[in-house]
């Protein structure tokens, strides 16, 4: 892995150009020295000198000879994805997933552990640290291999400080110094964000099918939340709580009281918990024999059971799903008019409820949004599966580590354990 | 004004550092050479050399000696706000305002002209060009003094090309090359955007009371629209039509058909035209003597009349305003949950309808939004008056002209008439 270099006070302009070179190779926008030269405007001598520093630092590797369009063949450069490791953890209400990725965000190892977040930060982070230690040992990583730590939590986070900010389902976590604790433990910089933001970021940064820069990621699980990007960057909002659409008022019906204490909230009418509640009422009231059968077998119903019953042709289950889809679609139509996204991705367990559910969401969006807003709008299921949150956490760390200004921001205060310092 | 320099192919890195120096002085973040050095990391020699080029180019001027905190006094630099001029035009449905600003966005001269936008681009732009010519003559400006042109229009715009994109109230303007036409006429770069975006940008960039980077600007006029900023940049959306909240569904009531052809739209229930329509119905039905009296005098009613009647104590007018305020507030509560803005500014004619209207909007937002989202939320009237759109158009041009990457982007293709080319 990369050797550690030491630097004097950074020359920000110089470091900027290192960061930019590294980022161009990392994202594969420019991989040969001539390409780097034409993309940055730096001369051949400067490019040779700076790529040599990055090669010596172990951040770049020489690749194969590129097919050339005339003249001398140019050797391509490769980002050294194994120069360091990123530790990630995605914390949910009832359990967490911890993992290790390389510097491109590929998950090398991960483990899911049942663990109630309501136990509070000390106990939960004890457990997270234990699992991360085990993963580090399994992967044969030394402490200085860890370049950064990314954590997702099911609640709002003040991103600048990494502290949860009045998270409703995380008692004891308000304002807790997650960054300080994990940073001291793993001697690496730590970033913390809301899990839906990380799911959004994962989809945004995963190479391949482009989702554009204006992406809405809608997670439909027990609750409903959104991750928002503008021009390829996450929009987190003034208090870091942007995307909380679950408690938007979508009905004047005051019969159902939401867990937030208000009535008419979207998630109280169309979230996973609402589907399960309504399905149990139908089953108990004798309106759906398929649902009643599953209820007898399992003792409770979930949104997945509703989807299964609907797919088996149960009329009442179909009704439940299409109603929920319409409610969600109506809210999304408003957001499409307001935000004009390029792509909407639907994630979370309930969004696996089948084509019927997706169709009723789509139909409502197209019916209620402005034609111009939906002309090129794509509405799809999220592409990343169970590891989406982990991958997003890794990308968050990579974004911050390799931001053009990163070297400048970090060097004065000391850089992460294994991260090379550069001298120009 | 600034002399014209010529340059060879630009060295992007070099130009970046010019742009950055200029921007630091322009925004007054760093005004002395030592401050510029510590902000950019550039050494003393480089700063001296580059500021000399910018001084010679007429973009910077020497200012007074700064009070020093020890050591030699440092002379401050001033951005040469009179080195060039910006032409602006804000096009509305029934008239336009055209103006000239300096390079800080201060309006030096402006004129409002009645002119229906529905006459189509050829006729309207003829008129705009005529007025701009007159203003240039009045101000004693030569053609090469014009560094850029900014135009606001009442409809969606594809910002990258400056072309209106299916604007509903601008027949004949769809896809019209506003940039090409005005660019050829004034030999300067042209940028075009939706007027509400420019109102938002004007508030965002005006020095003084900070509105933070996460601003929602809500224009309540005949229709209702929003300008959105994320991290200090306008969020325009995938098709440039973000902010169209007037046609979001806020009611199941299908009695009122909106001008868009749908029912339940916010602006059909709470916009200026809706207030006038409902007030005329009340007056005609004998429910409000004060409104009936104004209707007899003027032949029609406006939202301003409703506000006046409410302020005079007319119960029905009060009802109309508070109902509209609640409708708008409910929509904004959803947007507060979704977007978590720092500040909401209310502009447009209807937002002058008095404290009662503002209070009912505020009350609904606070009641329906999440406590964390509203903890530090400010909801105020817009600060810029009638010239807000012009000022926003100037800031749009300045943002683009002085973007860090501007010199690099523009120089190869030729720079605006009077804009100096820099050689490093």
ipTM score here? 0.86
Min CA distance, B340 vs chain A (Å)? 5
Q: List, for residues B224-240, the tens digit of each pLDDT value.
A: 999 999 988 999 999 88
Min CA distance, B385 vs chain A (Å)? 24
Question: Which chain B residues are Cβ-neighbours of A15 within 8 angstroms?
Answer: 41
Query: Once rounded to an integer, what is the mean pLDDT over residues A76-88?
Result: 92
Distances (CA, A) of A288 to A175, A307, A312: 46, 13, 12
pLDDT value at residue B44: 85
CA gap A277, A250 in Å, rounded: 18
Task: Spell out where A184-325 has E strands.
Answer: 190-194, 215-220, 224-230, 233-234
Contact B342, B211 (CB under 8 A): yes
Tokens of A343: 């792509």
Rg (CA), chain A: 24
Residue tagged 């480089």 (tokens): B46
Q: How confident is the model at residue A359 (pLDDT cuts 50, 70, 90)?
A: very high
Query: Once rounded to an integer, what is the mean pLDDT over residues A112-140?
Result: 97
Eight-class DSSP state of A230:
E
Whether residue B64 lies within 8 A of chain A, CB to CB, comes out as no
Eight-class DSSP state of B119:
G
Which of A238, A243, A376 is nearest residue B212 as measured by Cβ atoms? Answer: A238
pLDDT value at residue A199: 97
* CB–CB contact A249 B42 (8 Å): no
Contact B133, B149 (CB under 8 A): no
Whether residue B339 lies within 8 A of chain A, CB to CB, comes out as yes
Give me the residues of B, 162-221, that contact A with CB < 8 A. Answer: 165-166, 212, 214
Give me the residues of A, 231-260, that contact B with CB < 8 A. Answer: 231, 233, 235-245, 247-249, 260
Q: Is the dihedral of CA A366, A370, A376, A380 positive or negative?
A: negative
Q: How confident is the model at residue B130 (pLDDT cuts 50, 70, 90)?
A: very high
pLDDT value at residue B419: 55
3-state secondary structure of A396: helix
Give me the residues of A, 104-133, that contact B with CB < 8 A. Answer: none
Whether residue A354 lies within 8 A of chain B, CB to CB, comes out as no
Q: How confident is the model at residue A261 (pLDDT cuts 50, 70, 90)?
A: confident
3-state secondary structure of A122: helix
pLDDT value at residue A222: 84
Q: Nearest residue of B to residue A250 by CA position?
A: B250
Query: Once rounded to an integer, what is the mean pLDDT over residues A154-169?
Result: 90
DSSP assignments along B193-249, one per residue: EEHHHHHHHHHHHSSSS---S-EEEEEESSSEEEEEEETTEE---TTS-TT--TTSB
Eight-class DSSP state of B128:
H
CA gap B335, B344 in Å, rounded: 10
Interface test with B, best of A239, A258, A335 (most B CBs within 10 A): A239
The widest CA-to-CA distance across chain B, in whole angstroms, is 80
Eight-class DSSP state of A3:
P
Q: What percent of chain A is modeled with pLDDT above 70?
A: 89
Whether residue B8 lies within 8 A of chain A, CB to CB, comes out as no
**What's the first-to-final CA gap in chain A, in angstroms?**
21
Predicted confidence (pLDDT) at residue B15 exceeds the cutoff of 60? no
Predicted confidence (pLDDT) at residue B12 exceeds the cutoff of 50? no
Which residue segments constitute the domains of chain B, with CATH numbers given? 85-202+387-401 (3.30.420.40), 210-381 (3.30.420.40)
Alpha carbon B130 to its chain centroid, in Å, reads 23
Residue tagged 């390799």 (tokens): A402
CA gap A84, A78 in Å, rounded: 14
Q: List, for residues A174-205, the tens digit of each pLDDT value.
A: 999 999 999 999 999 999 999 999 999 999 98
b or e along B199-216 (b: 16 or more beta carbons within 10 Å of the residue's beta carbon)? bbbbbbbbeeeebeebbb
CA gap B413, A199 in Å, rounded: 41
Rg (CA), chain B: 24
Which of B10, B156, B240 is nearest residue A41 as measured by Cβ atoms? Answer: B10
Whether residue A8 lies within 8 A of chain B, CB to CB, comes out as no
Tokens of A86: 């990123």
Query: Once rounded to an integer, what is the mean pLDDT over residues B308-318?
Result: 90
> To which H or E segment does residue A24 belong?
helix A12-26
Give me the residues of B, 66-85, that contact A with CB < 8 A. Answer: none
Q: How confident is the model at residue A9 (pLDDT cuts 50, 70, 90)?
A: very low
pLDDT value at residue B68: 55
* CB–CB contact A239 B42 (8 Å): no
Which of A166, A214, A241 is nearest residue B237 as measured by Cβ atoms? Answer: A214
Eight-class DSSP state of A250:
-
pLDDT value at residue A201: 96
């Amino acid at each position: 892995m990369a050797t550690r270099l030491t630097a004097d006070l950074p020359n920000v302009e110089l470091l900027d150009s290192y960061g930019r070179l590294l980022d161009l190779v990392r994202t594969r926008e420019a991989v040969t020295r001539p390409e780097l030269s034409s993309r940055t405007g730096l001369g051949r001598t400067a490019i040779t000198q700076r790529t040599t520093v990055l090669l010596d630092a172990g951040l770049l590797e020489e690749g194969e000879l590129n097919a050339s369009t005339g003249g001398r063949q140019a050797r391509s450069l490769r980002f050294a994805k194994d120069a360091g490791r990123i530790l990630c953890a995605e914390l949910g209400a009832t359990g967490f997933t911890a993992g290790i990725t390389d510097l491109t965000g590929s998950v090398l190892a991960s483990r899911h552990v049942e663990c109630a977040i309501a136990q509070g930060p000390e106990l939960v982070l004890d457990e997270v640290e234990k699992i991360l230690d085990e993963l580090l040992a399994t992967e044969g990583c030394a402490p200085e291999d860890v370049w950064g730590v990314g954590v997702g939590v099911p609640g709002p986070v003040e991103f600048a400080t990494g502290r949860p900010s009045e998270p409703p389902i995380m008692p004891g976590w308000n304002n807790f110094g997650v960054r300080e604790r994990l940073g001291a433990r793993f001697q690496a910089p730590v970033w913390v964000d809301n899990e839906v933001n990380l799911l959004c970021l994962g989809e945004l940064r995963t190479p391949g099918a482009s989702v554009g820069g204006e992406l809405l990621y809608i997670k439909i699980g027990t609750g409903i939340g959104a991750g928002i990007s503008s021009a390829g960057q996450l929009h987190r909002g003034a208090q870091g709580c942007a995307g909380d659409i679950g408690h938007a008022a979508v009905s004047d019906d005051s019969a159902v009281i939401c867990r937030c204490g208000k009535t008419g909230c979207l998630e109280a009418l169309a979230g996973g918990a609402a589907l399960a509640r309504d399905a149990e009422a139908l089953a108990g009231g004798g309106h759906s024999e398929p649902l009643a059968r599953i209820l007898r077998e399992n003792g409770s119903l979930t949104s997945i059971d509703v989807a299964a019953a609907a797919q088996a042709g149960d009329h009442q289950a179909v009704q439940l799903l299409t109603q929920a889809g319409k409610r969600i679609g109506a809210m999304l139509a408003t957001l499409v008019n307001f935000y004009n996204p390029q792509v909407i991705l639907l994630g979370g367990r309930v969004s696996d409820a089948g084509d019927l559910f997706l169709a009723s969401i789509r139909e409502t969006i197209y019916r209620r949004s402005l034609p111009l807003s939906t002309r090129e709008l794509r509405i799809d299921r999220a592409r990343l599966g169970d590891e989406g949150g982990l991958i997003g956490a890794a990308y968050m760390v990579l974004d911050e580590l390799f931001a053009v200004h990163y070297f400048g921001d970090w060097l004065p205060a000391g850089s992460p354990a294994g991260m090379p310092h550069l001298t120009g």
